[in-house]
Structure 1
């Protein structure tokens, strides 16, 4: 097995971590009792971010004690492979009760070459998995990807612009994410 191919054990740990993260997020959300703080960079962090990040560090460290873990809220030094965790990608959406956030994890070899990434949507329960040199999976099944074309992207962009005229949240999205779009707004 080359160094970029992940071990089956690493994938299993990551898959289990995503399942438990979905449970953690939904349990805390349903309680309605989670705190929000502001970090020095003026971005929000919730108790959910902290709990998912801490659980990830514990589960990964138990299985791979020498691996380095880079979490958005907390990290752990190591000399092995590198795990990257974004416990809640979209904390601002979560904070505003917009169901547009995910849990993200990736693993790189010790040289920084990607091995896999997994993204979970706690609201739908969908889990997307991408392993180097393998097809992308959605909920364990190959995900058909017909490809992305420029006209499709522009149609989507025009759709968002039209929606922004009727709904303020889409206007907010376009304003906040315009630096990711290939054309000026």
Structure 2
């Protein structure tokens, strides 16, 4: 089983990196067209091309696996395994030429999160993990920080538009540095010890699917804002994501009232 998991991890990393290389063809393209979906979020040819590439590769390699992605309808499977794709996490950053966007790929099986990849193609960084095998940052073992409190630490988020003023004040009062180094990049920072916490109060499953296995294998903790450690893959519930080094997790959850983050 370990060798099979390692093979799936290696495959997921290679495919996600290849998808990332594909998106770079459109990065900084002044003629890049931007459309808006029904929910108002942007989508580009790069998003669609990267997801199509990953779906084609997964269908060829694992035809019995299910696939969930942001840009195309779900594909059913019979194996009990599900791949989850976010072809570009941080499309707004991508369209503005900001290199903090990522490509996300995760694999879930009957035991839960099995494999997770955060690829940052414009930065040349990849953070990845598999259940029981550890977390890695470009081939080197990755670990969360050992800071015991938020005081002096770094808290990341994707944006401040959903934050209530009292929550911002609570972070400031904790002594933490708040930065919008968000989306998949923020979670990668936590997994590699460069930030203590990352909070995304409103997400879809593809935005956070790789994070539970990546953060836990790096020695940290991942939950929703309510502290729930399980994720629903069918999109039936609103999701949020909180990743920390584990030591500050209760302190982070204590700063927020979920009812004010909707």
Establish whether TM, by shorter chain, passes 0.5: yes
How far did residue 25 of structure 1 move? 1.4
Alignment-derived partner of residue 99 in structure 1: 99
Alignment-derived partner of residue 89 in structure 2: 89
CA contact (8 A) 1:82 1:112 kept: no
**Greater displacement, 68-77 / 25-34:** 25-34
What is the TM-score normalised by the length of structure 2?
Answer: 0.56
Q: Which has the higher contact order (CA 8 A, sep 6+)?
A: 2
Residues of 1 paired with 2:111 and 2:82: CA distance?
A: 7
Structure 2 residue runs of 5 or longer lacking an equivalent are 156-170, 180-199, 203-241, 243-251
Is the partner of 1:13 in helix, strand or coil? Answer: helix
Alignment-derived partner of residue 28 in structure 1: 26
CA contact (8 A) 2:99 2:123 kept: no
Change beyond 3 A, Cα 1:31–1:64 = same
Alignment-derived partner of residue 14 in structure 1: 12
Change beyond 3 A, Cα 1:40–1:55 = same
What is the TM-score normalised by the length of structure 1?
Answer: 0.77
How far did residue 40 of structure 1 move? 0.5
Is the partner of 1:160 in helix, strand or coil? Answer: strand
CA contact (8 A) 2:135 2:142 kept: yes
Residues of 2 paired with 1:112 and 1:47: CA distance?
A: 35
Is the partner of 2:52 in helix, strand or coil? Answer: helix
CA contact (8 A) 1:22 1:125 kept: no
How far did residue 119 of structure 1 move? 0.5
When the two chains are superposed, the root-mean-square deviation of aligned CA atoms in Å is 2.8
How far did residue 130 of structure 1 move? 1.3
Is the partner of 2:134 in helix, strand or coil? Answer: coil
Alignment-derived partner of residue 78 in structure 1: 77
Change beyond 3 A, Cα 1:88–1:149 = farther
Residues of 1 paired with 2:61 and 2:53: CA distance?
A: 13
Alignment-derived partner of residue 126 in structure 1: 125
**Greater displacement, 150-159 / 81-90:** 150-159
Aligned length: 168
Change beyond 3 A, Cα 1:30–1:155 = closer
- Structure with a larger share of its residues in helix: 1
CA contact (8 A) 2:84 2:107 kept: yes
How far did residue 153 of structure 1 move? 6.8
How far did residue 34 of structure 1 move? 2.6
How far did residue 31 of structure 1 move? 4.3
Residues of 1 paired with 2:151 and 2:126: CA distance?
A: 24
